[in-house]
Structure 1
Amino acid sequence: MAKKLVIVESPKKAKEIQKFLGKDYLVKATVGHFKDLPEKEMGVDLKTFEPSFVIKSPKHKKMLSEIKKLAKDKEVYIATDPDREGYAIGYFMYEELKKKAKDIKRAEFHEITEKHIKEVIKNAPEFEKTNFGLFNAFLGRRVGDRVVGYTLSPNASKEIGGRFSVGRVQSPAVRLVVEREKEIKEFKPTPYYVLTVFLEKDSFKFTAGYEKAKIEDKEKAEKIFEEIKPEKKAKVVKVEKKEVKQKPKPPFTTSTLQQAASSNLKFAPEKTMMLAQDLFESGLITYHRTDSVRISKEAVAGIRDFIKNEFGSEYLPTRARTYKSKNTQADAHEAIRITNFVNLEKQKNLIKQKGLTDDHFKLLKLIYERTIASQMQDAIFERTTAVFEIKKHKFKTTGSILKFEGYKKVYMEEENEQGEKQLLPPLEKGEVVDKIDQKLEEKWTKPPARYSEATLIKKLEELGIGRPSTYASIMKTIKDRGYVIKQGMSLVPTENAFHLIDYLDKHYKWVIDYDFTKRMEEFLDFVEQNKKNWKEFVKELYEKSTNRKTKAISKKMLNYALDLAKKHNRDISDILDNPEELSKFIEAHKETKPSEKQIAYAKSLAEKTGIELPEDVLEDKEKIKKWINKAKKEAMKTYQLSEKQKALLIKTDKNS
């Protein structure tokens, strides 16, 4: 019988750790969060802000009962993930076991490797001596988000008309996408002109552009073009050669990993996090929720040995590179890095041994490249800039030659960062080269690009909105709720997104205020450091959510009331400014039967998904709305739909 009990979240991680710890230990999994706020009610006392957490499911109830029996009079190690969410699961378990277990300790695994796990278990502190501020920060976020969502979502749904959800972090993200779309729609393109000359020296052809890259005046551009047209030569008036060194980027944080996986591999952030979770639990990478760029000294030594043996000492800087995180707190953790310092072929074999997929390997390869590159020599370029004169007009060209690839031998992400890739012939000041042609192009200024998931995450991080553990869920939520749809890699806001942001801007501006959201995130950081009280956080959100005296009458609500009045031959001119009376009138006279469009949409959904559509649902407007919502969620979740099909599903629902 095992003498010690170790508790983690995931059964996969439990299995991996069990191998390392042997028969004296029993490793059990909670299967994620086993306690949460109730699904269908607020679950928060709005006077004291005390939450009522419940066991999530019968499966979790059974698991808890089993763990309680196993923990009796045993030494217990709570080894849930090393972040707020992981600590919260651990704290709930500590509360359940503290009167049963002989002793409870806290183990934080940052990588699932034998040496690390045994070391952490050996030095694990008593749970009572750990930072309870992590749990309080979790409470602030969970309870605060519940209060905002449960207070404002019904208001938005009722007043705009339809189903709307409001979130403390998701709504500012939607605002960013909406504002960018407005910028694009309002953008007025203006013409500019680009003048290029084609030059040749000793049969070596190359190009140079007019010194002012963009000429805004058409007449001026045409005048220069005509003036240089007869000229057959160009004089070199300046040559500048410069050695340019390019340093590697630091190792990945959660945010930069999601951005790189989105740009390079076309993975959605939630997919990246799911794959990273598997890689972590299989012992192939360090913990994947972090905003640190630091790597442990031991790991740096391992990486440097690998570089020397695999690529040669010329690829190794004299001193190890060190990277510092933006906030000092982050450095308690490590960056996301590989745990086995072996080449790609061996990394691939490890993936196969663990029974993982090609997509897991693609992500591991990205992490491997960034980890190794971060400790390699600079890439060295020779950059030549030459200026030519033709009829007193200056033209400029730049060419770069890669002299030493350095870290680019492993990681080639920023291919074009060193300027133009064109090669130039040897050029000397004062010499004359042939001008063989010239070209004048009219171009138009372009609107700002739509956000992709990668650039939206980057923007949220810049604004201080969200944390490593939340970026993927923000992206997933705004897509699932039908506020954005993906077109290629771009995020496009739906009509509902515009309606929601207009509504919040008028009535609850604070929810979509970037600075306020950032301050709230910082407040939670202070809670984690035991410098602030989580209830103050919730109290401020609650007061702001309920501090609106009058409820607006939306255009949709007004039009609906007027249609009903016409249908029932009623005069409602005396209550058009009274939201309460108008609501009562709508409630008393509203149509209870579903529209033909709704019935047709529900039937097509039932046909596509195989979900039962009872007869009574087809007779009741409210019932059919609920059924459609449930079926749509099921279709989104269960069936392998493309982004285009999902967009169509959302659009059809909106029009029905």
Structure 2
Amino acid sequence: MKKIVIVESPKKAKEIAHFLGKDFIVKATVGHFKDLPEDEMGVDLKNYEPKFVIKSPNHKKILAEIKKAAEDAEVYIATDPDREGYAIGYFMWEELKKKAKQIKRAEFHEITKDHVQEKIKNAEDFEKTNFGLFKAFLGRRVGDRIVGYILSPIASREIGGKFSVGRVQSPAVRLIVEREREIMNFKPTPYYVISAILEKNNTKFVAIYEKQKIEDKQQAEELYQDIKDEKTAKVEKIEKKQVKQSPKPPFTTSTLQQTANSIYRFPAERTMSLAQDLFESGLITYHRTDSTRISEKAINEIRKLIQKEFGDEYLPKSPRVYKSKNTQADAHEAIRITNFVNLEKQRQLVEEKGLSEDHFKLLKLIYERTLACQMADALFERTNVTLNIKNHTFKASGSVLKFKGFKAVYDFEEEEEETQNLPKLENGESIKIDTIKMEEKWTKPPPRYTEGSLVKKLEELGIGRPSTYATIIKTIKDRGYVVKEGSSLKPTQQAFDLIDYLNQKYGWVIDYNFTKKMEEFLDKVEENKKDWKEFVKELHQKSISKVKSAVSKKMLDYALDLAKKHGKDIDHILNDPEKIKEFIDNHADKKPSEKQVEYAKALSEKTGLRLTDKELSDKKALKKWIDKAKKEAMKNYQLSEKQKNVLIKYGREDLIEKPAEALKFIASKLKKFKK
């Protein structure tokens, strides 16, 4: 019997084919092959049934090939082990269940020979799998479509301009806007720090007055005047203690995105793209997870590697066990390496797979965290000294690393206070004072979010899930709600306008608690404890129970111009958006402008697409034709070096291979610059 394995990615298909041999044919769906239609809502609002369509002619062709191959075959659906992956698998199951002899489900958490063969061997009938995963996908996809399709046009009309509203993206925009307002409203206040620089045996160290921040300038001045000429400080108390520092747990999606952003400045989307390649090349475990669990087998291999590379003293007596807050998450593993070899050999593997230096950087990070999480504690000796200067108490502390432990492999990203080396001190001795100084400092506003700190905040608030953080950030950047300044996310005026509007009219969309509750509801759907249509119904009802719409200035001005042109009096309908819209529809010029016609003809020459009289005489039809022709023209468009440099400057290298999105982004920057 023929055996067919179905995955999403051609790269993963190629890798898996090596492991399974000639008895298996491995096919790729190339991502989601079905989705809601692009040009309509695609949801029946009476019963919430969605209309999923094949995404593109290419996907249609791929599906036909898979169907043909699956005739009377044993099919293994091995799409990714999360909701999105399961949904692709479910759609495929629906397409093949009448053709294939048998359909099974295999979940690959790593693309290694043993793992793939074991999962194929133990695959279960697709019908016995958890359909709750598909229902949770439906709830998210259909619910988000309804919110977006109902509220985005209303917001665009009422604010004036093009705005998009999203169940998860809008709360993320709110976070960034609120942080910016905190920064704008922040009033720095002064405070004073008095410190003494002391010296013994040619070693200088700093002691700070016990009240580290003095807010009263006069009090600070009086203290400084009292002690500024003192020449010695007396040691009153010395405390020494051993301090242990334990390693952090292995990476989850969220912590990987945060750390890669903090260390390499990788945007969340870039991290996920690199991790996807590493996973598909068999170098790391599945990268969409909120689990910190590592399998027993992997722990044994990690411990052997630590012993070989660092020695016995770096190995705790027993393995470290990390548990996730969400017990459901522990069905998966944390993100870890799959080849238990040293860093030099990890680099060789990256090169063999034809991957880039950025891939190696991310793999190195995962390698280091994988080892560190199973290594011994770092040991410090911390010394705290209390000193007396003219009956005023000053404190100095120092820390000495006694044993590196996990820091031998992973020594960054730790939030540690600055430490200093202290000379050997004894109780009661007098220490020479080099200088005493009083500094005026100012309180600082909170920092803007970076992509890493935004992911952390979204996770804290329960907004989104591991598979969606990168998409949320990409969406709010692409829609022009935030721009990157260095590594910080700064909201645009559009973001302020949107959040002010939603606050006033649709506060529930940006309510953090409501968004969290909705995510928890979807988790219950996944566990088959709640109905996905209940989720969608609540979002639908909230979207349509709206405050009376206002007429935007843009719409009003246009209507008044039309009224003047046609000699009509519209004073009686100025406050009714529906009637204003109806008036505009009835009186707006249906013919395209000369400029539009010229542009369309130029596009026709460039692309070879035919222009008919119908399009040339109907404004709406011509606009549709132009949109189609622009997409066609984009297929062969090459960005100039200057355009590429603009993308690099704003950290959007990911758009270099997407000319249409790139030009849109560059235009938004130029528009902002002109303002």
How many aligned residue pairs are there?
645
Query: In structure 2, what is the Cα distance between the partners aligned to 1:53 and 1:582?
Result: 34
Structure 1 residues 563 and 405: alpha-carbon distance in aligned structure 2, compared to 1, 3 A threshold: farther
Task: Write the distance in 2 (CA, Å) between the matches of 1:629 and 1:651.
Answer: 24
Please state whether the residue corresponding to 2:238 is helix, strand or coil: strand
State the 1:489 CA deviation.
0.5
5 Å matches for 1:418-457? 419-457=417-455
Question: In 2, distance between residues paired with 1:262 and 1:359?
Answer: 13
Distance 1:612 1:198 in 2: 78
In the other structure, the counterpart of 1:175 is 174
Match of 1:4 in 2: 3
Note closer, same or farther for the CA distance 1:522–1:244 as it changes in structure 2 (3 Å cut): same
- Mapped to 2, the partners of 1:223 and 1:452 lie a distance apart of 42
Does structure 1 retain, via aligned residues, the 8 Å contact 2:231–2:433? yes
Distance 1:383 1:561, change over 3 A: farther
Deviations 1:243-294, CA, capped at 9 Å, x for gaps? 1100000000001000111110111111111110110010000000000000
Q: Distance in 2 between matches of 1:460 and 1:404?
A: 36
The residue that corresponds to 2:466 in the other structure is: 468
Indicate if the aligned counterparts of 1:592 and 1:622 stay in contact, CA closer than 8 A.
Answer: no
Whether the 8 Å contact between 1:487 and 1:643 is mirrored in structure 2 is: no
Q: How does 1:75-154 map to 2 (within 5 A)?
A: 75-154=74-153
Range moving further from structure 2, 619-628 or 467-476? 619-628
CA distance in 2: counterparts of 1:390 and 1:233, whole angstroms: 7
Give the aligned CA root-mean-square deviation in angstroms.
3.1
Alignment-derived partner of residue 278 in structure 2 = 279
Distance 1:624-1:651 versus aligned 2 partners, 3 A rule: farther
Structure 2 counterparts to residues 191-206 of structure 1, below 5 A: 191-206=190-205
1:361 equivalent to 2:360? Answer yes
Equivalent position of 1:650 in the other structure: 668
> Structure 1: 5+ residue runs without aligned partners?
none
Task: Note if contact 1:111-1:285 (Cα within 8 Å) is conserved in structure 2.
Answer: yes
* Matched-pair contact (CA < 8 Å) for 1:485–1:643: no
Q: Deviations over 1:459-509 (max 9, x none)?
A: 000000000110010110000010000000000000111111111111111
Change over 3 Å in CA distance of 1:642–1:565 after alignment to 2: farther
> How far is 1:343 from its partner?
0.6
CA contact (8 A) 2:195 2:209 kept: yes
User: Relative to 1, partners in 2 of residues 1:44 and 1:570: Cα closer, same or farther, differing over 3 Å?
Assistant: closer
Q: How does 1:174-323 map to 2 (within 5 A)?
A: 174-323=173-322
Distance 1:114 1:648, change over 3 A: closer
Partner AA of 1:100 in structure 2: K
- Quote the sequence identity (%): 67
Structure 1 equivalent of residue 12 of structure 2: 13
Q: For 1:201 and 1:565, locate their aligned partners in 2 and report how far apart those are by CA, in whole Å.
A: 88
SS of the residue corresponding to residue 411 of structure 1 reads coil
**1:28 aligns to what?**
27
Task: Report which stretch shifted further, 353-362 or 564-573.
Answer: 564-573
Partners of 1:612 and 1:642 in 2: how far apart?
A: 33
The amino acid that maps onto 1:642 is I
| Residue in 2 that maps onto 1:43 | 42
- Which residue identity is paired with 1:143? V
Q: 1:337 maps to what in 2?
A: 336
8 Å Cα contact 1:275/1:363 also seen in 2: yes
Query: Does the 8 A contact of 2:148 with 2:166 survive in 1?
Result: yes
Specify whether residues 38 and 585 from structure 1 end up closer, same or farther in structure 2 by C-alpha distance, changes over 3 A only. Answer: closer
Shift in Å, 1:611 = 9.5
The answer to whether the 8 A contact 2:6-2:28 is kept is yes
Taking the aligned partners of 1:293 and 1:410, their CA distance within structure 2 comes to 19
Measure, in 1, the Cα distance between the counterparts of 2:186 and 2:393. Answer: 32
Contact 2:263 2:413 in 1 (8 A): no
C-alpha displacement at 1:237, in angstroms?
1.5
Q: Please, which of 500, 510, 513 is the counterpart of residue 512 of structure 1? A: 510
CA distance in 2, matches of 1:86, 1:360: 23
1:181 maps to amino acid: E
Q: What letter matches 1:326 in structure 2? A: K
* Residues 463 and 514 in structure 1, CA contact (< 8 A), matched pair in contact too: yes
Name 1:65's counterpart in structure 2: 64
Letter in 2 for 1:544: K
State the distance in 2 between where 1:104 and 1:226 align: 85
CA 437–557 in structure 1, closer or farther in 2 if over 3 Å, else same = farther
Partner of 1:523: 521
Aligned-pair CA distance for 1:420: 2.3
Alignment-mate amino acid for residue 517 of structure 2: R
The 3 A distance-change label for structure 1 pair 426 and 381 is: same
Residue identity in the other structure for 2:170: S
Specify the alignment match of 2:493 in structure 1. Answer: 495
Counterparts of 1:446 and 1:626, CA distance in 2: 53
d(CA) in 1 for partners of 2:249, 2:130: 29
TM-score by length of 2: 0.89
Give the aligned partner of residue 325 of structure 2: 326
Distance 1:583 1:61 in 2: 39
The structure-2 alpha-carbon separation of the partners of 1:549 and 1:393, relative to structure 1 and needing over 3 Å to count, comes to closer
Contact kept, 8 Å, 1:452 with 1:489, in 2: the verdict is yes
**1:52-78 Cα deviation digits (max 9, x unpaired):** 111111111111111111111111111
Structure 2 counterpart of 1:39, one-letter code: E
Inter-CA distance 336–353: structure 2 relative to 1 (3 Å threshold) = same
Give the match for residue 162 of structure 1. Answer: 161
State the alpha-carbon separation in 2 of the partners of residues 229 and 283 from structure 1. 65
C-alpha distance 626-496 of structure 1, shift in aligned 2 (>3 A): farther
Decide whether the 8 Å contact of 2:324 with 2:330 is kept in 1.
Answer: yes
Structure 2 residues without counterparts, runs of 5 or longer: 653-661
Alpha-carbon deviation of 1:414? 3.5
Alignment of 1:526-565 (within 5 A): 526-548=524-546, 550-554=548-552, 557=555
2:237 maps to a residue whose letter is: K
526 and 195 in structure 1: CA distance in 2 versus 1, 3 angstrom threshold: same
Per-residue CA deviations over 1:588-613 (Å, capped at 9, x if unaligned) read: 777999999x99xx99xx9xxx9999
SS in 1 for 2:124: coil
SS of 1:642's equivalent in the other structure is helix
Q: Which amino acid aligns with 2:139?
A: G
Moved more, 478-487 or 208-217: 208-217
Offset at residue 580 of structure 1 (A): 3.2
Measure how far apart 1:157 and its partner are: 1.0
**Structure 1 letter corresponding to 2:384:** T
